[in-house]
Structure 1
Amino acid sequence: MTSKASDLKASVLNAAIVGCGWVADWHIDDGLAHLKDRFRVLVSCDKDIERARSFALKHDVPRVSGDLEQVLAMPDVDVVIICTPPSLHYPMIMACLKHGKHVVCEKPFVASLAEVDAVIEAEKVSSARVMPIFQYRFGDGLAKVRHVIQSGLAGRHFVSSIDTAKRRDADYYQVAWRGKFATELGGVLLTQSIHIHDVLMWLIGPVKAAACFKTTRVNPIEVEDCAVASLQMLDGSLASLSATLGSARQVTRLRLCFENVTFEKVGYDENSSRPGDDPWTVIPRKPELQDAIEKKMAELSPASKWFARQYELFHDALESGASFPVTLSDARASIELVTALFMSNDTHTVVDFPIGPSHPKYHGWFER
């Protein structure tokens, strides 16, 4: 690749999956498998070579590797999809950019704002580009809600409440890298609720200040598995966050109260990971607004969802040179929020945004 836009004349991009666990299965089953006219999974790579082979057999991947450097030396690999434990993301992203390979990277993106900023600078001088994964954004229901908000029809935002109630029992932490700061980077604020918090900022805008309490009560692990937080958004509106890994049933709830309408979404079990899907509950403040809101929502055509939609838009952006559907600025906002929440808990203070290089936790929210 010699430019930021793809130089490939063919429409198919060759991808390598690095890290062949269950998240990688999602990337194929709910994403790339639906876009075979745009992507070909060429390589499965994992330090556990038997896991890489098993993954390749399952998904009909022609090549297997146990080493990222070997993958980066393959001239026909266009995109590297990073699905490894979080602590490995940053060095792998930087290696990919050095070799001119486009990157798709799972959350949490990296371990500090310093690392995000380093990736941003590295991308500027690379022929390749980086897209963070936030698949919760994509679905017809959420697209309609965002369209109404952006049109101005919803009016001013007042307050939102966002609940992430997941269940993670002891067997989940039998995987060696989970539950440890050094490898998972954090708990419910990093691995589970980070998605829905990104959705909040995508809909409402940047955060101005944050206060948080977090604790570990569900499992005997290093990282947090329960948290609550209060946010002041840049526009002066407010949001409350709650998150736990101790819910008997998995559920996510969003309630967004605007001047002219309230939006609600509740998802249980498997649907707790798909807030983008229809239906959303839409409650106009006045009956006469119902028709205007329905007409505004009807302006959008149905589209694919979840991983498939994010990868579809990624491909479009590489061909056109346009912005990715999730940007490095979005990743930075996500990591900035995490940094602020940890700082607030540790110091019992309200943390103001933006957070820059002089901040005590700019280089990370835990000791390394």
Structure 2
Amino acid sequence: MDPLRVAVVGTGNIARIHADSLRQLGDDVRLIGAVDVDADRLAAFADRYDVPARHSDLTSLLEKDRPDLVHLCTPPGSHHPLALACLTAGSNVLVEKPPTLSLAELDELVEAERKSGASVATVFQHRFGTGALRLRALLDSGVLGRPLVAVCHTTWFRNQAYFDVEWRGRWDTEGGGPTMGHGIHQMDLLCAILGDWTEVSAIARQQARRMETEDVSMAHVSFANGAVASVVNSLVSVREESYLRFDFERATVEVTHLYGYGDDDWRITPTPEHAGEVLAAWRTGPSGVRSAHRAQFAEVVRALRAGTPPPVNSAESRRTMGLVAGVYASAFTRSAVRAADLAADSPFYRKMEGNGPRW
């Protein structure tokens, strides 16, 4: 088969991670175009990665080069209009998190997918490391028993200078603080393991940083399978850590990392009576793949070459985005919020901040 023709929109820091990861896929892909409004940044990126087509706007790229897949590596506020343009032109889209600034925008992309036949996927790479794949397989097999309790903590640190960048810490450009832009990766993995959430009770605070959005949120989440989870998102935690813990009937499974995990970052503690079966299943599961961009990109390319929608699809992204919206809705209305409460008549459907935060 011919290589998948890929283009990158936005050529900043995250785009270099995308390009390096695409290179690792070898002859399955070919980076044929790049777009950036900054000519010098575009030239540096294109020269580094030997990109033949260089454009100052997306329309030109779509009309002249017609890529099979477009990687959106631009700030969050631009994702929705750029993804719509790609879908309208018939190009598949892989967008950095968050995919949009609201559930309403995401649903517009879902409708555009239906009309165009092209697909939107979100970069949630933590689903694709072999530790997470092993956990999901053991849960599906019944070896672990029922999920009971989970912990999902993204405790990171960003100083005030980080938020002094013009587009950061704003609802209209980022859609939220650490709940939307940082902890969303761990929250997505939480949902990928535990499934649909049903209700959330949360608080959000401006603890230390000067900006529009929160710098801390905390939530209690109930899931349709009966599990409950504690979720913490912070950007004021000096000792940084990403930590997920899943307590099942027959074992506790944990992962501790920062921006990406490997197999050695996972721990499993079985009950004594189930230790043999649980540990044997854990040891024979998939191994050797870190939760890096390359792992997801390989699956996206495989799916598109097979003619199937790429992971993580819009429906999967919407579940995670719904939980983010639920955290904000609960925090700002100071009440428990069900997934069903976030329908089109909710102010939190149109904007993550709803009618405005109550600090």
Q: TM-score range by the shorter chain?
A: over 0.9
AA at the equivalent of 2:101: A
Q: Kindly report which structure 2 residues correspond to 1:183-202, keeping only aligned pairs within 5 A, or say none.
A: 183-202=173-192
**Structure 1 residue 57, shift from structure 2 partner:** 2.2
- Gap regions ≥5 residues in structure 2: none
Question: Higher mean Cα deviation, 94-103 or 62-71?
Answer: 62-71
How do 1:112-191 and structure 2 match up within 5 A?
112-191=102-181
Q: Are 2:270 and 1:280 aligned? A: no
Give unmatched runs, 5+ long, in structure 1: 1-8
Equivalent residue, structure 2, for 1:312: 298
Superposed displacement of residue 304, structure 1: 6.4
Kept in 2, the 8 Å contact 1:145–1:297? The answer is no
Q: Distance in 2 between matches of 1:86 and 1:121?
A: 20
2:150–2:228 Cα contact (<8 Å) kept: yes
Shift of 1:138: 1.8
Shift of 1:301: 5.7
What is the rounded CA distance, in whole Å, between the counterparts of 2:50 and 2:319 in structure 1?
37
Structure 2: which amino acid aligns with 1:20?
T
Offset at residue 60 of structure 1 (A): 2.5
| Correspondence 1:227-238 to 2 at 5 A | 227-238=217-228
In 2, Cα distance between equivalents of 1:317 and 1:325: 8
TM-score between the two structures when normalised by the length of structure 2: 0.93
Contact 1:147 1:297 survives alignment (8 Å): no
Residue type of the partner of 1:278? Answer: D
SS in 1 for 2:335: coil
Residue 193 of structure 2 is aligned to residue 207 of structure 1: no
Q: Is the 8 A contact 1:139 1:278 kept in 2?
A: no
* Pairwise CA distance, 1:285: 1.0
- Letter matched to residue 94 of structure 1: L
Shift of 1:276: 5.6
4+ residue runs of structure 1 moved beyond 6 angstroms? none
Q: Is the 8 A contact 1:45 1:67 kept in 2?
A: yes
Aligned-pair identity (%): 32
CA-based RMSD: 1.8
CA contact (8 A) 2:119 2:309 kept: no
- Deviation, 1:293, is 3.5
Matched, 1:333 2:315: no
Q: Residue deviations 1:82-126, cap 9 Å, x none?
A: 011111111111110111111111111112111111111110111
8 Å CA contact retained: 2:251, 2:270: yes
- 2:280 counterpart of 1:294: yes
Partner of 1:359: 346
Distance 2:332 2:210 in 1: 20
Q: Report how many residues are paired.
A: 354
- Residue deviations 1:293-352 (CA, integer Å, cap 9, x gap): 323541436456421111111111112233423111111112111111111111110001
Q: How does 1:43-62 map to 2 (within 5 A)?
A: 43-62=33-52
Task: Name the structure where helix makes up a greater proportion of residues.
Answer: 2
Q: Which residue of 2 aligns with 1:15?
A: 6
